[in-house]
Amino acid sequence: MIQKDCPVDFIQVNEHQVRLTALWVFILVGISLFLFQLQLPVFVFLLFDFFLRAFNFGKYSWLTQLSKLVIKQLKIGKKPIDQAPKRFAAKIGFLLSVIITIALFFQFNNIVFILSIIFAVFAFLESFLGFCAGCYVYTFLQKIKIIR
């Protein structure tokens, strides 16, 4: 079994909200895979939304606000989880969004497709299984000494 190491900051967020936000990402990326004319708007939107969540402006994220509203309306309780792994995962989402947006401008369709599939898989794993692939990426980056 692979041992993972996640970042920790001891700030708690609601796991239900995080997973619902991942569901919105999964849906948006899925839409972009089938409706090619929406790819650029979807990934530009995700680029800005992930930027907000990754760099501590999450309260301004439309997907976060939508998730909060749905959680409140459905009266879903809180399940605390550490924020740091989710912020790290948002940084990965931001980076993927930047790369995909650039690839769209240069019409590198194969790169767009492959990275979109990876993006969708990460969002699916988080949303439906509560599996944070970001922790494994974080562990790998630590092992190759890119981050501490």
pLDDT tens figures, 31-89? 999 998 999 999 999 999 999 999 999 999 999 999 999 999 999 999 999 888 899 99
How many structural domains does the chain have? 1
**What ranges in the chain are assigned the alpha helix state H?**
15-34, 39-54, 62-73, 84-105, 109-124, 133-143
* Window from 1-5, 15-19, 39-43 with minimum mean pLDDT: 1-5
- Residues 63-99: b if buried by 16+ CB within 10 A, e if exposed: bbeebbebbeeeeeeeeebbbbbbbbbbbbbbebbeb
pLDDT of the residue at 2? 61
Q: Which domain holds residue 107?
A: 12-143
Asked if residue 124 is part of any domain, the answer here is yes
Residue 35 lies in a domain: yes
DSSP-assigned beta bridge partners for residue 82: 12
Residue 57 in tokens? 């402006």
Separation between Cα atoms, residue 122 and residue 134, nearest integer Å: 8
**Residue 137 domain-assigned (yes or no):** yes
Domain assignment present for residue 2? The answer is no
pTM: 0.90
66 within a domain of the structure (yes/no): yes
Report if residue 5 sits inside a domain.
Answer: no
In the predicted model, is pLDDT for residue 127 greater than 70?
yes
